[in-house]
Structure 1
Amino acid sequence: MNLHIHNLGKRYGNTPVFANVSLTVEPGEFVAIVGESGVGKSTLLNCMAGLDTWDSGTVHLDGTDLGLLDDDARALLRRKHVGFVFQAFHVLGHLDVAQNVALPLLLLNTPDDARVQAMLDAVGLNGMGNRLPQQLSGGQLQRVAIARALVHRPTLLLADEPTGNLDPTTAAKVMDALVSQTRAQGTSLVLVTHSQAATAHADRVLHLRGDGIAVN
């Protein structure tokens, strides 16, 4: 998926978050975004998927202007084409691992147990499909989140500090799984992070500032 952002600006009331943000992410490209705390990195990520609103500029996904879509249309686009991985995992505790991973397929009315199992194998969770989240480590939970985000084969994956809660060794394993699977699927990846180890995998590293974005 081609993601194109042009002169994006965001404010909370009278307080500017960022302005004049322009960037393009090509199909299959891995772009890391870094910046100081509070500069709006997570907000920018949410704008990319139409989860948040903006005050100026445009966001296009494969030529579709998200600003012209209503909430239902944005939700449908995300459901089909976008995956998310967050720092806090957001795994549902009352569902087992396989059921958590299967959720995007169920929302699309395309259940596929074989695809779920293949994703679990791909991220190193073979044999853990029947376990509950409370039986897993932090690194395993993040791999569940990665498998869930990629099982419906999105064209764009957005990841917000996916290794922020993990120790360095586990973080490296999680990043390896994330990068290998996005590369294998040809998925565009936009990663917000403070981790230099994570940015080392990226094709490009961009620095978000209040007045725009620049090559780091």
Structure 2
Amino acid sequence: MLHIRELTKSYAGAPVLRGVALDLGPGEYVAIMGESGVGKSTLLNLIAGLDTPDGGRVVLEGTDLTRLDDDERTRLRRRRIGFVFQAFHLLPHLTVAQNVALPLALNAIEDGGRVEALLAAVGLAGKADRYPRELSGGEAQRVAIARALVHRPALVLADEPTGNLDPVTATQVLAVLREQLERDGAAAILVTHSERVAATAQRTYVLGPEGLVPRDP
């Protein structure tokens, strides 16, 4: 489902990623760990087509993102990828429900109760009409997770998805994420510094100068 080979990226001549490779099948859920500054967020951005690599390939469901132009990558990302940003990126002028429903609107998908069900699943059933400024950091993170899942993407990318959550809520949100992935047959890549979060994944990799290295169980 996802095939990455020899992915490289530099900024201002400084290498960030070197020869990264990864294969991910439908329903697989992996965690990526590593020290700050090694390029974990950069890797997610390249997989999502938000940035372009200097070399290598990112193939999602048979489509090589590196061969697409900006508009084509945007259309593919809207349809097939859900992204949980570390900084939430909620739209301040939209309510919680409208933020979650945004991927449905962009893809012309009927709600069918998806927004209400996901808000309930992440513990925000009574806050659909609130605005982002009225939410705590943890609540905003849960809205971002619901938004990433609502259109049932093939691949979910999450950058520190539990970084703003208390341990109880983090456990709840991870359980929701796993349930949705299993239901839809989607795959997920989570970037995290948390050993507890990484332990919920099927596989864990460490990103470093030598690329992505499987961590010993």
Q: Deviations over 1:14-70 (max 9, x none)?
A: 211121111101111001011111110000111111111111111100111111111
The CA RMSD over aligned residues, in Å, is 1.5
Say which SS state the counterpart of residue 148 (structure 2) adopts. Answer: helix
Give 1:134's aligned residue.
133
Give 2:13's aligned residue.
14
Matched residues, number = 215
Q: C-alpha distance in 2, partners of 1:190/1:164?
A: 15
Q: 1:151 to 1:124 in 2, by over 3 A?
A: same
Say which SS state the counterpart of residue 171 (structure 1) adopts. Answer: helix
Q: Deviations over 1:149-191 (max 9, x none)?
A: 1111101000001122333333333322322322232211000
**Are the aligned partners of 2:141 and 2:164 in contact in 1 as well (CA < 8 Å)?**
no
In the alignment, structure 2 segments of 5+ residues that lack a partner are none
Q: 1:139 to 1:176 in 2, by over 3 A?
A: farther
Output the amino acid matched with 2:123: G
Say which SS state the counterpart of residue 127 (structure 1) adopts. Answer: helix
TM-score by length of 2: 0.93
Say which SS state the counterpart of residue 158 (structure 2) adopts. Answer: strand
Give 2:183's aligned residue.
184
Moved over 6 A (4+): none
Q: 1:138 to 1:176 in 2, by over 3 A?
A: farther
Output the amino acid matched with 1:103: L
Say which SS state the counterpart of residue 8 (structure 2) adopts. Answer: strand
**Are the aligned partners of 1:139 and 1:174 in contact in 2 as well (CA < 8 Å)?**
no
TM-score by length of 1: 0.93
Give 2:103's aligned residue.
104
**Are the aligned partners of 2:145 and 2:161 in contact in 1 as well (CA < 8 Å)?**
no
Q: 1:133 to 1:109 in 2, by over 3 A?
A: same
In the alignment, structure 1 segments of 5+ residues that lack a partner are none
